[in-house]
Every structure is written in structure tokens, then in C-alpha cells.
Amino acid sequence: MKALAMDLGGSGGKIFSGCFDGKKIEIKEIHRFNNEPIEAAGRLYWDILGIYTNLLEGIRKAAPAEFTSFGVDAFCNDYGLLDESGSLISQVTMYRDSRTEGVPERMDQAIPPRELYRRTGCQRARFNTLVQLAAQMDGSDRFLLEKAHSLLFVPDLLNYFLCGEKAAEYTIASVSQVYNRLENQWDDKTLQAFNIPKWIFPNVVPPAVHLGSARESIYARTGAKRFSVCTVGHHDTASAVVAVPSLESHFAYISSGTWSLMGTETDDMITNEESYRYNFANEGGVGGKNRFLKNIMGLWLIQECQRQYDAMGVPRSFADLDAESENARPFRSLIDPDDPLFFQPGDMLGKIKRKCREWKQPEPETPGAINRCIKESLALAYRRTLEKVESAVGFKVPCVHIIGGGAKSALLNQFAASAMGRPVLARPYEAAAVGNLCAQYISAGEIKGLEEARRVVRDSFDIKEYLPDRNAGWDEAYGRFLEIAAG
């Protein structure tokens, strides 16, 4: 069976063709494009029509080989609004836009945060859909919400463009902070508290089901034969976790990309005092699982540094930076990657140096030193998170799977293994696309469920193991890191 998967991230999008012969999946990149927010009049937006144009270009390139199914996964929380006729009436605002600054604190006056956590399981974060909606209801564009007839998250919106069906896929609805996980429906109490119209929210559908057939105009424009639009784990992390090549029930994963999403799977939500205090997220997963995880700022810090290097005329690839880091002194400077200062774009090099000065550490000057500072700090953040995950769920994990594009960094993988004192198993690199394809094969009956999907992934990709270096000073560095993070 041949299928197409679109994986849309915060820095770029990729479209893959997948072929499953009953035992192994083979994937091939068909189309790649950049995806960066557009700043206009002080606001940050996604170019949703440009994204859709690239989606169609990927389909056009894949059309000669033919395929029978298509699925899209993407970042979560951001949304477009449609009017009664089904026309898009708003730009898609980026989750890092400044409109949400200070909003979570104002929201606490309407709903106690502990109560909201119990009902939705969502972490407290200013990028949540609920926070964005609350900001919009208080802003000058409130009229768009009042005029809207439908709200669609980014992957749901792209599917609507393709097949005309308005629906919210479960995994991406579950991370919005608007969906009641206890009652499995949009949360009336929350919507009423912020005067958000309930009618704009579509029906919620599970992953791995047929959504609809592509519009006739799509075939005419791309040359593709008939294909089915399939729901997958529309949240890219949900798709990535499908592709964790673990045959054990207890495992930890890091989906490594713009964000590092670190956690494990549980059967039910964990919303006790400990998980609330640690601000862990409970997110819906493919196969009825709960993803219990923590957002860590991830490679966003390096991507922002790369943008500055490009502007300075000294571009650096990820491989260049890792090679230059080999000559930088270990643990010279550390930061907390989750410091709020790093959330919004702009002058990441200056922000990192500022934080080092505040903690009376040497400022990293060279690209290699800055890269080492970020990646050592990320590895220590992984250790901190792993300790909290294991405390909250009550079991130890024997190893940590690192999946996604960040798994290509042997330097970060080795740092992570040494910092956590656990073996790290790296790959697949295109985990979200692989998990996306697996959901399509489950929908078609080619794969019989989540457990079999993971066995197929394990058989399809070579997994690289990194063992901890226990004599490299990581324990002492971790003590320093905790002091910095606490301060």
C-alpha cells in the first residue's frame, strides 16, 4: 500500500511517500519547504495558503507513482476561522505571538487553574488554544470569533481544504485546553467562562479513520488519481510517539525537534498534585493511550541562533555547529532552556549571553561554545524531566528513545545518555511522518494496531544506541544546572 504523509513543523514542512509491503515501511521524501512565521504590524502569522500550496505541490510530485491515502500532522494549538459559507476569514496567528503575554494569569480569575487541569489534563502554557482564544476575545479582532461558524486547527484546516470535511481530530483537540478529557467533549464550563462561542467547535473524530475523498478540483490541479484523506495523529507529537520503536510497555521518549517533548505513555490521565506542580501535560494518543509529557524548549534555541548567523553572513548548519562544539570547553556555561526569555523570537545569541552574565558565568562567544552551552543544558533538562516523569508515574524506564530530526545529532544523543545515566536509542529521524503513515495503514487494515505498528517500525529502521559516559562531570554540572533553574 502506498500513502502520502505531510509533516508540518515550526521551521519547515515535508511530504513523504510511504510503501508498506506487509513487513516493513519504506519512506521517501517527495517535497520540502521552509515554514517560518511572518511578522506584520507587530503580529506573528503562519502563511497558511503558502503551506497549502506546498501541500498541493507535494501531491503533484507524488501523483505519477499513484497513492491511495493521505494524512497530515502538524504543530498544535493554532487555528483558522471559517464563515458560514466555509471561507477562511482570518489569518492563522502563530502561538509565539505576543498577544498571549500575561493572559494565563488573567484567566486564573475566571477558572481556578487546578480545576482546569483536572478536566483537560493540559499543561499551563501561554501557547494553548484556550489562552489564544481568551486573548482574542479581549482583543480588537474579537469580532472574527463572533462572526465565525467553524474553528479548525491547522492540520484539520488543511484537510478541509482537501476534502471539504470539517472535523477536529482527537489528539490535536486534546491539547487545546478546551476539550474535557473526563467527559470526552468540548468543555462547556470553560467556554462559558470566557464567552467563547461553542458552535465554532466541530465534531471530534478519532485518529486512523477515513475522513473523506479529495475534492475533484484537487485531482484536476495535481494530476493525482483518487485518494482518501485519512485522520492520523494530527498533533505531530502524537504521530511521532506512534513511531517509538519500543516493544516494552514502560519506556520514555524524547520527540526532538523545535520542541523537545519528553514523556511516557499511560493508560489514563495523571492529574495529581505532583503532576500539576511539575506542569506535566496529558495529551490524547493514537490507540487510546495517554501521552504524559513535558515541553522543553528544544532546538528552537539553535534554530534562532542559526537565523542570526545567516543574517550576519556566517551561516552554520547543525553539523557545523556540532563539529565546532568538540573544541569548546565542557560545562563552561549553562542555561535553563525553559526560561521564558527564550520563548519569543529575536536575538537569541544576546539572550543566552545575558542569562550567562546573570549567573556570573563566562559568556559563550563562538558558535561552537554557544551550541555546546545549549546542548549540554538541554541534556540536563532531560535529566530533570526524567526524574519527574518517573516520580509521577511510579516506574523506572530502562532506556530513553530519541526520535525526530534532533536524533540526527550524535553530540546531543551522547550528552543525553551521559546526563540521564541511561542508554539512548536514536531513530527514526522522520518519526512523525512514519507514525502518520502507520495510522493510515491501521485505517486501511494493513496494520492491526499500535503494538504491531511499533514492531513494524523497529523492523524497518536501524536503531543507534548511545551508552552513558559516567566519568564526564555530569553530576556536578547537574547540581549547577538545578541552581540556575531555581534562580
470 located within any domain: yes
Residue located via cell numbers 492529574: 271
pLDDT of residue 87: 97
CATH code of the domain in which 7 resides: 3.30.420.40
Cell 552513558 belongs to residue: 468
Exposed, middle or buried: residue 294 (CB in 10 Å: 0-12, 13-18, 19+)?
buried
pTM (global) more than 0.85: yes
Does 203 share its domain with 248? Answer: no
Q: Is residue 169 part of a domain?
A: yes
Between CA 442 and CA 436 the distance in angstroms is 10
Q: Does residue 215 fall inside a structural domain?
A: yes
Predicted local distance difference test score (pLDDT) of residue 91: 94
Do 180 and 119 lie in a common domain? yes
Q: Cα–Cα distance between 141 and 51 in angstroms, integer?
A: 23
Residues comprising the chain, all counted: 487
Same domain for 86 and 164, yes or no, is yes
Residues 319 and 267 in one domain: yes
Give a yes or no: residue 281 inside a domain: yes
- Which pLDDT belongs to residue 470? 77
Q: Are residues 212 and 251 in the same domain?
A: no
Domain boundary among 202, 230, 258: 230
Q: Where are the alpha helices (DSSP H) in 394-430?
A: 410-420
Rounded alpha-carbon distances, angstroms, from residue 5 to 10, 59, 195, 371: 17, 10, 37, 32
* 52 and 89 co-located in one domain: yes
> What's the grid cell of residue 421?
545515566
Number of independent structural domains in the chain: 2
Neighbouring C-beta atoms of residue 222, cutoff 10 Å = 19
Residue recorded with cell 487555528: 79
User: Do 213 and 348 share a domain, yes or no?
Assistant: no
- Tell me the C-alpha distance between 384 and 473, whole Å: 16
- Report if residue 41 sits inside a domain: yes
Amino acid at 192: Q
User: Tens-of-pLDDT digits for all 487 residues of the chain?
Assistant: 899 999 999 989 999 999 999 999 999 999 999 999 999 999 999 999 999 999 999 999 999 999 999 999 999 999 999 999 999 999 999 999 999 999 999 999 999 999 999 999 999 999 999 999 999 999 999 999 999 999 999 999 999 999 999 999 999 999 999 999 999 999 999 999 999 999 999 999 999 999 999 999 999 999 999 999 999 999 999 999 999 999 888 899 999 999 999 999 999 999 999 999 999 999 999 999 999 999 999 999 999 999 999 999 999 999 999 999 999 999 999 999 999 999 999 999 999 999 999 999 999 999 999 999 999 999 999 999 999 999 999 999 999 999 999 999 999 999 999 999 999 999 999 999 999 999 999 999 999 999 999 999 999 999 999 999 977 899 999 999 999 999 8
Q: Are residues 267 and 129 in the same domain?
A: no
- Identify whether 238 is part of a domain: no
Report residue 339 as a C-alpha cell.
526560561
261 and 146 fall within a common domain: no
Examine the domain organization and report whether 260 and 407 are in the same domain.
yes
pLDDT given for residue 34 in this prediction: 96
Q: What angle do CA 405, 408, 411 make, to 5 degrees?
A: 125
My answer on whether 266 and 124 are in the same domain is: no
Exactly one of 7, 156, 187, 236 is catalytic; name it: 236
CA separation for the pair 12, 29 (Å, rounded) = 13
Among 168, 196, 230, the domain boundary falls at: 230
- The answer to the question of residue 235 being in a domain is no
User: Cis omega (within 30 of 0) on the bond before 330?
Assistant: no
433 contacts 7 by C-beta, under 8 angstroms? yes
Helix or strand or coil: residue 30? strand
Are residues 264 and 192 part of one domain? no
For the question of residue 236 being annotated catalytic, the response is yes
Residue 28 is part of which domain span? Answer: 2-230
In a domain, 239, yes or no: no
